[in-house]
Structure 1
Amino acid sequence: MTTPWGEPALARFPEDPRDRLRAWDASDEYLLSHLADRQVPLSGTVVAVGDRWGALVTALAAYRPTQITDSWLGQEATRANLARNGVEPGTVRLLTTQDPPPGRIDVLLVRVPKSLALLEDQLLRLAPAVHEGTVVVGTGMVKEIHTSTLGLFERILGPTRTSLAERKARLILCTPDPALRRPANPWPYRYTLPDGIGPVSGRTVVNHAGVFCADRLDIGTRFFLGHLPAPGGGRVVDLGCGNGVVGTATALADPRAEVLFVDESFQAVASAEATYRENDVPGHAEFRVGDGLTGVPDGSVDLVLNNPPFHSHQATTDATARRMFAGARRTLRPGGELWVIGNRHLGYHVTLRRLFGNSEVVASDPKFVVLRAVRR
C-alpha cells in the first residue's frame, strides 16, 4: 500500500495463497492522503475504529495510535502487519469493541462498517471522548456510505459532509458539537424468540450491535433449529455462533452436553454468552473468540454445528467456510459429525465430500439445505 508515510507490506489473516483479496482498499489510501494533505496534527490520541486488517494503524504507527475492532482476525492481521513492518510490540494499542474506549480522542478515524448498528454503537461509545477540537474523518467505498450513515455521524457527533469520490472511495468529514444532545445507546438489544422452534421457543436473545439479525430470528437459523441432531451428550461446538441461539438450543435440549461457543467477532461471543446466561441454561458452556477451531485439540469433539459466513466485509468468498470445515474434520472424533446449514446455491456438499469423503442432505427447502458429514 502506498501512503505518505511509506509503503507498508500488508496481508490478511490467516494468509492464504488462494485468497487474492488485499488487506486494504482505496478508502484507506484516500483517508491517509487526506491526513497528510491537510497536515492534520497527529501528536495527540489517534483512534482508528473498524480498521479492517490494520492498514491505517500500521501506516500511522509512528504516532502510537489506538485501534478498535470487532474482529479477532482483523486484530491478528494487525499484529502480523505491524511485526512485518518492524513496529515494536506495544507501539499500537489494540482494543476490541467490548473494551472501555480511550478517555480522550484528538483524531478519530472511522472505517465505515457493513453494519449500521455497529457504527451507531461505536459512535455512541466514543462520543464522550470527542471534544470540540477533535478531527473526525470517516472513510469507505461509495457503495458503503449511505444517507443513513451520514445521519448517524450528524446525530451523534455533529455537522457532517462528504468529500468528492476518488477511485470509488469517499470521506466523511464531521465537525464535533460538544453541546449536541445524544440519544441513549440502544445496544445490546433483547427480543423474545417465537414459538414452534424447539427448546428455545419463547426464550430471550441478547444481541450486541453488529451481530447478524440483531432484532429477529433469521430464516436460516429457524430452519436449522427445526432439524438439529438428537441429543447425544459429549462435546458440542457452535462454530460461528453469532448470538448463540443454536448452541443454547442444544444445551437446553441436552443438559449433558458441553457446549463451546466460538466466533471471530467479539460482539458475537459477548452476545452468545449473554443469551446463554439470560436463559439460565443447565450444564457447562465455554465462550471463545478466535479463528474457528484453532486451539481445540484434535479428535476432542463429538458434534460441530455450523452456519458459515460467505462474505468477508463486501467480498463474497468461501475461504472462511473451507477453514471451518477443515477445522471440524481435524477436531472431530471418529464417528463425530459436522452439521452445516447454508444457502443451496453455495454448494457446500462438494467441499464436504472432498474433506470428509461423504455428505448427506438432512433437510432442504427452496432456499436452505442442512448437510451432515461424518468423520471416518
Structure 2
Amino acid sequence: MNRLSTPAATSFSTPWGTHDLTRFPEDPREQLRAWDAADEYLLRHLAGEGDSAQGAATDLDGRAVVVLGDRWGALTTALADHRPTGIGDSHLALRATAANLARRGAAPDAVRLLSTRDTPPGRIDVLLVRVPKSLALLEDQLHRLAPAMHPGTVVIGTGMVTEIHTSTLRLFERILGPTRTSLAVRKARLIFCAPDPALDPGPSPWPRSYALPGDIGPASGRTVTNHAGTFCAEHLDIGTRFLLGHLPTAAPGDRVVDLGCGNGVVGTAAALAAPGARLLFVDESHQAVASAEATFRANLGPDAPAEFRTADALSAEAVEPGSVDLVLNNPPFHSHQATTDATAWRMFTGARRALRPGGELWVVGNRHLGYHVKLRRLFGNCELVAGNPKFVVLRAVRR
C-alpha cells in the first residue's frame, strides 16, 4: 500500500479544498484525527465564512504568512498556495506537516518549515497561532516573533475552549498588543490581537535555570537549564528524582542514551557518574534538546563528548540498530489532551532495536501504567529494580 494513502489519513474539508491528513508516524490503527474544530474555525474565518468573519476574508495573497505551532500540519497544508512559513517545536508535528504537504502535492519549496530554535522570519504580515499546551512556549515564541511584526500585521490564534484561558489572552496583550476573543463554535475559539509597535514587553524570561536538590546522587546541587516548553522547567519532577536515586553506572566507553531527555538531567547524571561513557540525548522537542545540551555543557564543559538529536524516539533516523549499551527513559503518557501509551510503546520498541545484545533499558513510570507487561512482551524479561507507592524503576535486557 502506498504510504501516502494509508488508512490512517482522514479527509479535511476546507475553503481551500479537501485534503487527506494524517499524524506522524503514520499508523493505520490511529483513531485520533490530524485536525480539529479549532483548525476548522480559523480557516473558515480566514475565508470570510462564519459569524466571526463578518463576511470579510483575510487577504493572504503576496503576504508573509507564518503558522506557529500547527499540530499536525492542517493549517499549513490548507494554506500551502500562500507559501506560509511553519514554525514548530515538535519534530513529529513538523514531519507530519511535511508528509501532509507531500500528500497534497505541494511543491517542495512551497512551505518553509522551521523549528522554534531556528532564526525566525524577518517580516510577518499574517501570524496564525495554534495555542500550545505550554504557556511558557507561547510566551517565548511571541517574544521571538514580535520584532518581525508591524501595525498592519494580522494576528489570529486558535484553540479549543479548554486550551484558551485568561492568562493566554494576557500574554498576547502584554507582548503584542490589544487582544479580544470570538464566540465559541463547536468548543473552539479564536483570539484576535492588534500589534502595537509602541509596546515594550521587555526581554523573554527564557531560558531559566535552577539548582538540583543535594540528595540525588552524582547530579546533586548541579544547575539545570530549561528553555520554554520543557517538561518540569521550574523544578525536578518526582519520577525523574526516583530514577536518579537508582541510576545504573555505565562502564567506560559505553554508549548511553537519555531517551525523551527533556532538560537532560538523567543523561547528565549518568555522564557525571561514568566520565568515560558516551552520551546521546534524544527528544522529539527542539526546546528539550536545546535544554539538554545547555544542562550537559554547564556541568561537563564545552568539550565533553556527547550527541544531541531531535527525533522520533529511537527510530532508525536517530541511532543505528545494535549500537547502544544502556537506555534511560522516563516516558510521557500524554499527547496534547489525550492520555495514551503510544509514545511509551514507540520508545520501548525503538530502545530494543537500538540496544546491542546484553544492552539494558531502564524505565521509570507510574506504577499503575503497567509498563512491566509491555516490557516482558517486547524483551521477554523485566526486572523490578525499585518501587514506592507511586513509581517503579524497571530493567529489561536485550537477549
* TM-score for both structures, normalised by structure 2: 0.93
* Counterpart among 274, 285, 303 of residue 265 in structure 1: 285
Q: Which residue of 2 aligns with 1:243?
A: 263
Q: Which residue of 1 aligns with 2:24?
A: 13
Q: Which residue of 1 aligns with 2:373?
A: 350
Q: Which residue of 2 aligns with 1:158?
A: 177
Equivalent runs, 1:289-368 vs 2, <5 Å? 289-294=310-315, 295=317, 296-368=319-391
Q: Please report how far the alpha carbon of residue 280 of structure 1 lies from its aligned counterpart in structure 2 after TM superposition.
A: 2.4
Are the equivalent residues in 1 in contact too, given 2:272–2:300 (CA < 8 A)? no
What's the RMSD between the two structures over aligned residues? 1.0
Q: State the secondary structure of the residue aligned to 2:19.
A: coil
Are the equivalent residues in 1 in contact too, given 2:22–2:34 (CA < 8 A)? yes
Distance in 1 (CA, whole Å) between partners of 2:392 and 2:329 is 12
Q: State the secondary structure of the residue aligned to 2:32.
A: coil
Please say which of residues 359-368 and 26-35 is displaced more in the overlay. 359-368
Distance in 2 (CA, whole Å) between partners of 1:244 and 1:219 is 15
Please say which of residues 292-301 and 153-162 is displaced more in the overlay. 292-301
Q: Please report how far the alpha carbon of residue 284 of structure 1 lies from its aligned counterpart in structure 2 after TM superposition.
A: 2.0
Q: Please report how far the alpha carbon of residue 45 of structure 1 lies from its aligned counterpart in structure 2 after TM superposition.
A: 0.4
Q: State the secondary structure of the residue aligned to 1:196.
A: coil
Are the equivalent residues in 2 in contact too, given 1:292–1:327 (CA < 8 A)? yes
Distance in 1 (CA, whole Å) between partners of 2:157 and 2:236 is 31
Gaps of 5+ in 1: none
Distance in 2 (CA, whole Å) between partners of 1:331 and 1:99 is 29
Equivalent runs, 1:213-292 vs 2, <5 Å? 213-233=232-252, 234-281=254-301, 283-292=304-313
Gaps of 5+ in 2: 1-11, 49-55
Q: Please report how far the alpha carbon of residue 342 of structure 1 lies from its aligned counterpart in structure 2 after TM superposition.
A: 0.8
Q: Which residue of 1 aligns with 2:218?
A: 199
Q: Which residue of 2 aligns with 1:54?
A: 73
Query: Is 1:41 the equivalent of 2:59?
Result: yes
Are the equivalent residues in 1 in contact too, given 2:328–2:361 (CA < 8 A)? yes
Q: Please report how far the alpha carbon of residue 283 of structure 1 lies from its aligned counterpart in structure 2 after TM superposition.
A: 4.7
Q: Which residue of 1 aligns with 2:230?
A: 211
Q: State the secondary structure of the residue aligned to 2:21.
A: coil
Deviations along 1:231-251, whole A, 9 cap, x unmatched? 323111100000000000000
Are the equivalent residues in 2 in contact too, given 1:112–1:145 (CA < 8 A)? yes
Distance in 1 (CA, whole Å) between partners of 2:119 and 2:221 is 33
Q: Please report how far the alpha carbon of residue 362 of structure 1 lies from its aligned counterpart in structure 2 after TM superposition.
A: 0.8
Are the equivalent residues in 1 in contact too, given 2:260–2:330 (CA < 8 A)? yes
Distance in 1 (CA, whole Å) between partners of 2:251 and 2:300 is 21
Distance in 1 (CA, whole Å) between partners of 2:375 and 2:109 is 41
Deviations along 1:293-312, whole A, 9 cap, x unmatched? 12312211111001111111
Deviations along 1:292-338, whole A, 9 cap, x unmatched? 11231221111100111111111111111111100111111111110
Distance in 2 (CA, whole Å) between partners of 1:216 and 1:142 is 28
Distance in 1 (CA, whole Å) between partners of 2:367 and 2:183 is 40
Q: Please report how far the alpha carbon of residue 181 of structure 1 lies from its aligned counterpart in structure 2 after TM superposition.
A: 1.7
* Counterpart among 88, 102, 125 of residue 144 in structure 2: 125
The letter for the 1-side match of 2:70 is D
Distance in 2 (CA, whole Å) between partners of 1:283 and 1:237 is 15
Are the equivalent residues in 2 in contact too, given 1:301–1:332 (CA < 8 A)? yes
* TM-score for both structures, normalised by structure 1: 0.98
Q: Which residue of 1 aligns with 2:106?
A: 87
Q: Which residue of 2 aligns with 1:104?
A: 123
Distance in 1 (CA, whole Å) between partners of 2:366 and 2:196 is 45
Identical-residue share of aligned pairs (%): 74
